[in-house]
Amino acid sequence: MYLKTLTLFGFGQFHDRTFNLERGLNVLVGPNEAGKSTLTQFITAILFGFPTKKHPELRYEPLDGSRFGGAITFVQDATQYQVTRVDGPRGGTVTLRNLTLDLELPASQLAKLLAPVDAQLFQNVYALNEMRLGQVFQASKQDLTTHLQHVGAVGSDDWLVQAKRLDQRAEEAYKPQGRKPLLNDLLRQHQDLQAKLDKANTAYQTYWQLLQDQATAKHRQAALREQLATHRQTVTHWTQLQQQWPTFQRWQALGTAQQQPTTGFTQADATELERLQNQLTASQATAKTNQSRLKDLQAHAQLPALFQQYLKVSEQVDPLFDQVPAVTAQAQERTRLMATVQELTQRSTAIEQQVANANGQMPRPFSLATTQELKQQQADLQLANQKRRRLQQELNRLNDQYQQAQPTRQQRNPLADKQLGWLAAGLLVLVGAMFLPGTLFKLVGAALGIAVGYYGVFIVDGETPASRELQGLTADIRDVQAQLREGGQRIDALTNRIDAIGEAHGLDHLPHEQWFGAQAAIGEWERLTQQLQATHTQLTALQATLDQFQQAVTAVLPQLAGQSVTSQTTQLRQLQTTQQRLVAQNGELAGLTDRIQQDHTAVARAQQAVRTFLQTRNVADTAAFYQRYQQIQNQDNVTAQRQALATQLGTTLADLQALPDQATLDQHVTTAQQAQQTTQQQLDATTTQLATLSGQLEHLTASGTQTALRQRLANLETQMRTVTQGWLTDRLTSRWISATLVAASGDRLPRIVDQASEYYAQLTENRYTKLELTSETLRVQRADGTWLPVGQLSRGTAEQLDLAMKLAFAVVMQAQAAMPLVIDDGLVNFDARRRQAAYALLLTLSQHLQIILLTADPVAAQAAAGKYVVRLTTQEGD
Amino acid sequence: MKFIHAADLHLDSPFLGLTTLPAALLTRVRQSTFTAATKIFDRAIAEHVDFVLLAGDLFDRAEQSVAAQAYLFNQFERLRQAGIPVFVSFGNHDYATDQHQTIAYPDNVQVFGADVTTKTLTLASGETVAVSGFSYPQRWVVTDPLPAFPEHAAADWHVGLLHGAVATGGTHDHYAPFTVAEMLTKRYDYWALGHIHQRQLLHQNPPILYAGNPQGRSSQETGERGAYLVTSHGRQLVPEFFPTADLLWDTATVPLTVTTLADLGTALTEWLTAHPADQSTLTQLTGKLTHPFTPEDQAAWRTTDWLSLYQRTHRSTLATAQRYLTRLTLRLPQATVAAPALDQRYWDQGAAQTFTPATVQTLFGKLAQEPALADWLATEGTPEKLRALATEQLQDLMNQEAPDVP
Q: What is the pLDDT of residues A643-684, one digit of tens each?
A: 888 888 788 788 888 888 888 888 888 888 888 889 889 889
Distance (Å, rounded) from C-alpha A35 to C-alpha A39?
6
Confirm or reject CATH 3.60.21.10 for domain B2-243, answering yes or no.
yes
Which residues on chain B are in Cβ contact (under 8 Å) with A725?
376, 380-381, 389
**Which residue in B14, B21, B339 is closest to A155 by CB distance?**
B339
Question: Measured in whole angstroms, how far is the alpha carbon of residue A528 from the centre of its chain?
Answer: 113
H or E stretch at B52: strand B51-55
What's the confidence (pLDDT) of residue B78? 92
Whole-angstrom CA distances from B223 to B163, B197, B200, B277 are 22, 11, 13, 11
What's the confidence (pLDDT) of residue B16? 80
Least confident of A134-148, A297-311, B89-103, B217-231: A134-148
Query: Is B350 close to A737, i.e. CB distance below 8 A?
Result: yes
DSSP assignment of A188-250 equals HHHHHHHHHHHHHHHHHHHHHHHHHHHHHHHHHHHHHHHHHHHHHHHHHHHHHHHHHHHHHHH
Residue A22's pLDDT band (cuts 50, 70, 90) = confident
Which of the listed residues A545, A564, A589 is the one where a domain comes to its end? A589
Do both A499 and A569 map to the same domain? no
Q: Does the CA dihedral A566-A570-A571-A572 come out positive or negative?
A: positive
The DSSP letter of residue A363 is P
pLDDT in tens, A723-742: 888 888 888 888 888 888 77
Strand B109-111 relative to strand B86-89, pairing: parallel
Distance (Å, rounded) from C-alpha A173 to C-alpha A191?
17
The DSSP letter of residue A356 is -
Greatest mean pLDDT among A104-108, A511-515, B171-175, B295-299 lies in: A104-108
Least confident of A182-186, A407-411, A679-683, B148-152: A407-411
Phi and psi torsions of B217, nearest 5°: -120, 5
Whether A441 is in a domain gets the answer yes
Structural contact between residues B102 and A212, judged by C-beta atoms closer than 8 angstroms = yes
**Which residue in B21, B103, B394 is closest to A733 by CB distance?**
B394
HSE at residue B155, side-chain half, CA atoms within 13 A, is 25
Residue B131's pLDDT band (cuts 50, 70, 90) = very high
HSE at residue A200, side-chain half, CA atoms within 13 A, is 25
What's the confidence (pLDDT) of residue A751? 79
**What are the sequence ranges of the domains in chain B?**
2-243, 247-333, 339-406
CA of B98, closest CA in chain A: separation in Å? 13
Instruction: Indicate the average pLDDT of chain B.
Output: 84
Distance (Å, rounded) from C-alpha B105 to C-alpha A365?
159
Q: Is it the case that residue B147 has pLDDT exceeding 50?
A: yes
List % helix, strand, coil for chain B (3-state, nearest 5).
Answer: 35, 25, 40
Alpha helices in B275-305 (DSSP H): 295-303
What's the confidence (pLDDT) of residue A875? 45
Structural domains of chain A, count: 2
Number of residues that this document lists for chain A: 878
CA of B406, closest CA in chain A: separation in Å? 7
| Torsion of the alpha carbons at A175, A181, A182 and A187, rounded to the nearest 10 | 60
H or E stretch at B342: none
Residue A40's pLDDT band (cuts 50, 70, 90) = confident
What's the confidence (pLDDT) of residue B402? 44
Residue A300's pLDDT band (cuts 50, 70, 90) = low
Whether A850 is in a domain gets the answer no
Instruction: Indicate the average pLDDT of chain A.
Output: 80
The DSSP letter of residue B153 is -
Q: What is the identity of the amino acid at A352?
A: E
Residue B208's pLDDT band (cuts 50, 70, 90) = very high
Query: Is B12 close to A706, i.e. CB distance below 8 A?
Result: yes
Please list, in sequence order, all residues whose beta carbon lies within 8 angstroms of the beta carbon of residue B228, skipping any fewer than 6 positions away: B4, B5, B6, B199, B209, B211, B239, B240, B241, B242
Best A189, A199, A202, A718 residue to mutate vs chain B (most B CBs within 10 Å): A718
Query: Is B364 close to A728, i.e. CB distance below 8 A?
Result: yes
Domain that holds residue A475: 368-504
DSSP assignment of A609-637 equals HHHHHHHHTT-SSHHHHHHHHHHHHHHHH
Query: Is A706 close to B386, i.e. CB distance below 8 A?
Result: no
Phi and psi torsions of B179, nearest 5°: -125, 150
Distance (Å, rounded) from C-alpha B44 to C-alpha A89?
80
Closest residue in B to A114 (Cα–Cα): B405
Structural contact between residues A85 and A107, judged by C-beta atoms closer than 8 angstroms = no
Please list, in sequence order, all residues whose beta carbon lies within 8 angstroms of the beta carbon of residue A225, skipping any fewer than 6 positions away: A683
DSSP assignment of A290-322 equals HHHHHHHHHHHTS--HHHHHHHHTHHHHHHHHH
What's the confidence (pLDDT) of residue B334? 57
> pTM of this prediction?
0.53
The DSSP letter of residue B178 is B
Q: What is the identity of the amino acid at A645?
A: L
Closest residue in A to B357 (Cα–Cα): A732
Do both A444 and A485 map to the same domain? yes
Alpha helices in A505-564 (DSSP H): 515-556
Phi and psi torsions of A831, nearest 5°: -75, 170
In chain A, the largest separation of any two C-alpha atoms, in whole Å, equals 253
Q: What long-range pairs does B363-367 form, CB within 8 A, spacing at least 24? A: B363/A728, B363/A731, B363/A732, B363/A735, B364/A728, B365/A176, B366/A176, B367/A174, B367/A183, B367/A724
Return left, alpha or beta for B319; rule: phi > 0 is left, psi -120 to 50 is alpha, else beta: alpha
Do both A392 and A488 map to the same domain? yes
Whole-angstrom CA distances from A381 to A121, A388, A391, A423, A429 are 216, 10, 15, 21, 12
The reply to whether omega before B340 is within 30° of 0 (cis) is no
Do both A493 and A389 map to the same domain? yes
Do both A492 and A581 map to the same domain? no
Least confident of A516-520, B30-34, B36-40, B67-71: A516-520
Best A188, A210, A724, A745 residue to mutate vs chain B (most B CBs within 10 Å): A724
CA of A744, closest CA in chain B: separation in Å? 5
What's the confidence (pLDDT) of residue B363? 84
pLDDT in tens, A826-848: 777 788 888 888 888 888 888 88
3-class DSSP assignment, residue A353:
helix
Distance (Å, rounded) from C-alpha B221 to C-alpha A694?
37
Query: CA B164, B250, B40 angle in degrees (round to 5)?
Result: 50
Structural contact between residues A521 and A507, judged by C-beta atoms closer than 8 angstroms = no
Burial B393-405 (b: 16+ CB within 10 A, else e): bbbebbeeeeeee
Task: Using alpha carbons, select from A245, A231, A229 the residue that is nearest to residue A673.
Answer: A231
Q: What is the 3-state secondary structure (H, E, C) of A1-58?
A: CEEEEEEEEEECCEEEEEEECCCCEEEEECCCCCCHHHHHHHHHHHHHCCCCCCCHHH
Mean pLDDT of the A79-99 span = 88
Query: Is A187 close to B370, i.e. CB distance below 8 A?
Result: yes
Which residues on chain B are in Cβ contact (under 8 Å) with A744?
341-343, 346
Q: Does A700 touch chain B (CB under 8 A)?
A: yes
Q: Is it the case that residue A709 has pLDDT exceeding 50?
A: yes
pLDDT in tens, A520-575: 788 888 888 888 888 888 888 888 888 888 888 888 877 777 777 788 888 888 88
R_g of chain B computed on alpha carbons: 25
Which residues on chain B are in Cβ contact (under 8 Å) with A740?
339, 342, 346-347, 349-351
What's the confidence (pLDDT) of residue B336? 47
Question: Within 10 A of B300 (CB to CB), how many other CB atoms are there?
Answer: 14
Whether A565 is in a domain gets the answer yes
- Residue with more model confidence, A771 or A605: A605
Distance (Å, rounded) from C-alpha A703 to C-alpha A709?
11
Q: Is it the case that residue B187 has pLDDT exceeding 50?
A: yes
Task: Using alpha carbons, select from A666, A341, A660, A358 the residue that is nearest to residue A509.
Answer: A358
Task: Using alpha carbons, select from B320, B280, B276 the residue that is nearest to residue B28.
Answer: B280
Mean pLDDT of the B110-124 span = 88
Which residues on chain B are in Cβ contact (under 8 Å) with A737?
350, 394
